[in-house]
Homo-oligomer: A and B are copies of this chain.
Amino acid sequence: MKTHAGEEADMVIRIESQSKLLLLRPLCYFVRHLLEQLAPTVGAEDICNNLELAFTEAYTNIHKYAYGSGTTGTVIIHIHIRPEELEFTFEDHGLGYEPCCVPPPNLDKPAEGGLGLWLMGEFMDECAYTRTPEGRNILRLIKRLPADADSS
């Protein structure tokens, strides 16, 4: 995959910090502008918007829930850029939860919450949550990219 800047784009970015609200926007702008640089391969504006939204929802949830309300802890984010897909992983060492037990929202009864996990599922091709035996919670979000047209 060739990027806008003409560099091979098979790469990984690792970001480690505290799960503070302060970082929500800086991280989202990072992702938005990364997607812009990749735009020739990532594709249409809509896809970039959706990826940015899924990223935002995942980070917001870790900020809100992973370490209990009002408490923050370590969050480790990996962004893998591969020729055929983009992968975000979010790792925390917090409480963990059972995403499968979270019911989907009832869209006929608008509520003040409950859309985040569902939106990630709508916008990504794969969402997988694992809790490791050592107590690490890992959320993997994968978006498959359209086949590269200009691999010239």
Contact = CB atoms under 8 A, between A and B. Distances in A.
A26 B9 CA distance: 14
Contacts of A26: 29-31, 33-34, 37
Interface stretch (A14-22, A124-132, A133-141): A14-22
Interface string A1-29: 00111010101111111101111011101
Contact of A7 (B4, B20, B34): B20
Nearest to A13: B17
Nearest to A28: B33
B30 A7 contact: no
What is the size category of the interface that chain A forms with chain B? 20 to 34
Contacts of A17: 11-14
Nearest to A20: B7
A4 B37 CA distance: 29
Contact of A29 (B4, B23, B33, B38): B33
Given A7-B21, A25-B33, A30-B30, 20 more contacts: A5-B21, A5-B22, A7-B20, A7-B72, A11-B17, A11-B18, A11-B20, A12-B17, A13-B16, A13-B23, A15-B16, A22-B34, A22-B38, A25-B36, A25-B37, A26-B31, A26-B34, A27-B30, A29-B32, A29-B33
